[in-house]
Amino acid sequence: MAIPTPHISATSKDLIAETILLPGDPLRAKFIADNFLEDVIQFNAVRNMLGFTGTYKGKRISVMGTGMGMPSIGIYSYELINFYGVKNLIRVGSCGALQPYLKLYDIIIGMSASTNSNYLHQYNLPGTFAPTASFELLEKAVKVARELGVRYHVGNILSSDTFYDDDSEAWKRWAKMGVLAVEMEAAALYANAARAGANALTILTVSDSLVTHEETTAEERQTAFTNMMKIALEL
């Protein structure tokens, strides 16, 4: 497999660590690199999708933006796994709460990812595949969240293809099934990892609530979700 790829300019597998954090926002990737990593190098800037590698507590780790939606994270995670040999992919993102007991800044660890997307149809499976996180990563994340003393929840999340849904009440039907929150990437990440034998996990911070209509600001979503970042870095 040839590198660099059409979307990642790193010329060597050695420039990207086996474990990578994947925020949607490339500026959040830069924030993590600037505030948590040492000896940082930048390995990607194609389409301004910034990627960095450094060390955290003496261990090499990378961080890179993925953009919004399953097609975007599908491209980046596929190339990271299949071209650069990345083994552990941890999405760190924001989500909208679907349950009334979830509060702004709560942490949600995505055990599984339901979806309204056709992304999974490419595998031509004789049934319905359930995109699921790596239990190894999930178990570690829960342990770290407990040690940090943060409010966290583990369960099913919804990866949606639509941010502005024509059916404004559709989320309520997912909520009735116990789905915790909605985001736009995890199902594709979990599917790509499952297909290639890699490990994936999604850790989210509640940025808004479809129930109460509370919401955080764009700046807060970029820089203030540090508990989620700390959990991911410890994995």
Give the distance, in angstroms, between the CA of residue 209 and the centroid of all CA atoms in the same chain: 19
Q: How far apart are CA 28 and CA 229, in angstroms?
A: 10
Q: Does 98 score more than 80 pLDDT?
A: yes
Asked if 82 and 100 touch (Cβ cutoff 8 Å), the reply is no
pLDDT 10s digits, 139-168: 999 999 999 999 999 999 999 999 999 999
Asked if 111 and 158 touch (Cβ cutoff 8 Å), the reply is no
Q: How far apart are CA 229 and CA 91, in angstroms?
A: 10
18: tokens are 């086996």
Nearest CA to 203 out of 15, 28, 37, 78 is that of: 28
Instruction: Report, as an integer, the average pLDDT of 165-192.
Output: 98
The DSSP-derived string for 89-139 is: EEEEEEEEE-STT--TT-EEEEEEEEES-SGGGGG--SS----B--HHHHH
Name the more confident of 28 and 223: 28
What angle is formed at CA 1 by the lines to CA 8 and CA 186, rounded to 5 degrees?
Answer: 55
What's the confidence (pLDDT) of residue 222?
Answer: 67
The domain ranges of the chain are 13-234
Instruction: Name the band, by pLDDT with cuts 50, 70 and 90, for residue 1.
Output: low
From the candidates 14, 39, 165, 208, give the one annotated as an active-site residue: 208
Mean pLDDT score across all residues of the chain: 97
* pTM for this entry: 0.97
Q: Does 221 score more than 80 pLDDT?
A: no
Is the bond preceding residue 126 a cis peptide, omega within 30 degrees? no
Q: Does 212 score more than 70 pLDDT?
A: yes
pLDDT 10s digits, 10-65: 999 999 999 999 999 999 999 999 999 999 999 999 999 999 999 999 999 999 99
Q: Does 88 score more than 70 pLDDT?
A: yes
Q: Is 165 a catalytic residue?
A: no
- Please name the CATH architecture into which domain 13-234 falls: 3-Layer(aba) Sandwich (3.40)
